[in-house]
Structure 1
Amino acid sequence: MLAAIDTIAAPLVLAATTEDDGLNPLVRVVPGLMIWTLLAFVVALLVLRKYAWPQITRILDQRQQQIEESIDAADRTRQEADELLAEYRQRLTDARAQADEIVAKAERAGEVAEREGLDAAKVKREELLEQTRRDIQAETNRAIQEIRREVADLTVQATEKVTRKTLSPDDQKRLVEEALSELDFSTLSGDRRN
């Protein structure tokens, strides 16, 4: 590898040292070459300034504007996302509050329905008890009336058998009233009259 470098570098070193004054031609000052070099540089600079720099500046400005627009769009998107997140959180809070309110209303409605059901059951029970009392009282009165008729019939029959004669309707009535007055029907009807 060193041999390859030596073969390439040797002619360059030889060409640089073979000049008249022993200076390298790249380092030596040649006024004509220097003027043409400056003139070429100025022309290249003017051409670049006239045609290339406006294009490069325009492209760089466009790129800067695109970057700024991208940053603005990212900021707007982030702001919209923050607003949406805040709105979502607010809606979630509202939904939870509504759910809690619905549950509370349902519990209150359940309690009211239970209370109304109990009240209705109590009223129905009282009505049934009152109806049962009336039925018992009516049945008791009917039974007492039936017993009175039986007692009256038995009294009339017993009296007729004892006296061996038929009683007149007035005598029967008087006899039945006396027999009935001696019986205490209040104990049968549940009344405790003295």
Structure 2
Amino acid sequence: MILLKSGIDLLVPENGLLIWTALAFILVLFILSKFAWKPILNSLKERETGIADSLATAERVKAEMAQMKSENEALLAKAREERASLLKEARDTKDRIINEAKEQAKVEANKIIVEAQAAIQQQKMAALTDVKNQVGNLVIEVAEKVLRRELAGKAEQENYIKTLANEVKLN
């Protein structure tokens, strides 16, 4: 038969149970303190140290990243300045080359014009000389023909030669 105990009796343990429970607790406490607490405390310390190291590393990396960011910004600014400088230098060089090419073209054009004018003058002089020579030849031929007709006789020719000789001596 099962006797029913009152509600309060169920909450209050018996003395034997208390002793065995206390003994078991003390035994488990002794075993845990002897074998388990040191490794548990060591792993907790290691974990705490690892977390602290990780936080310090994170802070250091964060500081390095900030420094790298500022260095990158400085490098970008320097690169922009160099690019602007190179572009300006390239524009100046382009303008200088264009101006030099224009000046050289002008010099070459003037040289060609001077050479062409000299060639024209030379050809003009050659043509005038040729015309003078031809005119001179024609004049001599005409004069010769006229003189032959006028000076048909030998005596007339000799008188004319003497007259010309005297005129040449006077000049």
| TM-score w.r.t. length of structure 2 | 0.69
Query: Does 1:61 pair with 2:45?
Result: yes
Matches within 5 A, 1:1-194: 14-17=3-6, 24=9, 26-27=11-12, 44-164=28-148, 165=151
The amino acid that maps onto 1:148 is K
Q: What secondary structure, in the 3-state scheme, does the structure 1 residue paired with 2:12 have? A: coil
CA positional deviation for 1:29:
8.2
Question: Taking structure 1 as reference, are residues 145 and 25 closer, same or farther at Cα in structure 2, changes over 3 Å only?
Answer: closer
User: Structure 2 stretches of 5 or more lacking a match?
Assistant: 152-156
The amino acid that maps onto 2:100 is E
Q: What secondary structure, in the 3-state scheme, does the structure 2 residue paired with 1:16 have? A: coil
Question: Taking structure 1 as reference, are residues 28 and 147 closer, same or farther at Cα in structure 2, changes over 3 Å only?
Answer: closer
- Structure 1 residues 34-59: Cα deviation after superposition (integer angstroms, max 9, x where no partner): 67766665555454444433232212
Structure 2 CA distance for aligned equivalents of residues 23 and 128 of structure 1? 133
The amino acid that maps onto 1:77 is V
- Of Structure 1 and Structure 2, which has the larger fraction of its residues in helix? 2
Structure 1 CA distance for aligned equivalents of residues 89 and 97 of structure 2? 12
- Structure 1 residues 7-53: Cα deviation after superposition (integer angstroms, max 9, x where no partner): xxxx7xx5433xxxx961643785x8767766665555454444433
CA positional deviation for 1:110:
1.0
Structure 1 CA distance for aligned equivalents of residues 13 and 124 of structure 2? 153
Percent identical among aligned pairs is 28
Structure 1 CA distance for aligned equivalents of residues 10 and 95 of structure 2? 111
The amino acid that maps onto 1:147 is V
Aligned length: 154
Q: Tell which has more relative contact order, 1 or 2 (C-alpha 8 A, sep 6+).
A: 1
User: Structure 1 stretches of 5 or more lacking a match?
Assistant: 1-10, 176-194
CA positional deviation for 1:122:
0.6
